Amino acid sequence: MDKSSLYDSHGWLLAAGALCAAIGFWRAPLSPSSLPTPVVAAQGSGGSNDPDEQETQSLPPIAMAATADSNNRMIAVTGTDITGASILYVIDSVSYQLAVYQAVGGSESSQGIKLIGARRIDLDFRVDGYKDRSQFTYKKLREEFDKQARETAGKTDANANLSADPGN
């Protein structure tokens, strides 16, 4: 199979992998300033017994990154979940399979790779919308584009009839 036809027929899977990476970035804090700062009450400290007086402590920043890569068949996207564990999304663009793995660190006895989930995804891309909170649904957009196409076709037909009329 020609390399360019592979990109044409499976380019949407690369886009899906990029979307997974974008979702990972969106769901994960990108900077230390965006991390939540827990508030810990410091009652009885500092010589004050005022229960409204509180001391704040910040969590150390967590480094998070995601990467993506692909070849003619596989797309791999990595990231970090909210627990700090590494996540790997693997998409097979030929058999339309998705697998998600979690790599766990720590002591030697708890280290390992765990399969989180796997499924075929070929039918997922045939859904017009699922939990779609967009301003316009696919159905409404399709109706609007079809309406505009009919109006444009009607105007083109009317102009063709005028130019064909010998009385003008």
pLDDT single digits (tens) 45-57:
444 555 555 555 5
* pLDDT for the residue 15: 57
Residue 25 amino acid letter: F
Q: Residue 79 pairs with which residues in a beta bridge? A: 87
Q: Which residue has the higher pLDDT, 166 or 43?
A: 166
Section 92-116 average pLDDT:
90
* pLDDT for the residue 129: 87
Residues 72 and 121 occupy one common structural domain: yes
Measure the CA dihedral 13/17/22/23, to 10°. 100
Whether residue 44 is contained in a domain is answered as no
* pLDDT for the residue 81: 84
DSSP class of 72: S
Section 101-113 average pLDDT:
87
d(CA 133, CA 135): 7
Section 87-110 average pLDDT:
91
Residues 159 and 86 occupy one common structural domain: no
Which domain covers residue 142, as residue numbers?
A: 134-168
* pLDDT for the residue 38: 44
Tell me if 66 sits within 8 A of 81, measured CB to CB. no
* pLDDT for the residue 82: 83
Could you count the other beta carbons within 10 Å of the beta carbon of residue 75?
23
Whether residue 51 is contained in a domain is answered as no
Pairing type for strands 39-40 and 74-80 reads unpaired
Enumerate residues 6+ apart whose C-beta is below 8 A from 118: 97, 98, 99, 100
> Does position 32 have pLDDT exceeding 90, yes or no?
no
Which helix (H) or strand (E) is 70 found in, with range?
strand 67-70
* pLDDT for the residue 71: 92
Section 77-101 average pLDDT:
92
Residues 118 and 138 occupy one common structural domain: no
Residues 80 and 104 occupy one common structural domain: yes
Q: pLDDT averaged over the chain?
A: 73
31 confidence band (pLDDT: 50, 70, 90): very low
13 confidence band (pLDDT: 50, 70, 90): low
d(CA 1, CA 7): 11
Whether residue 28 is contained in a domain is answered as yes
Residues 93 and 167 occupy one common structural domain: no
* pLDDT for the residue 120: 96
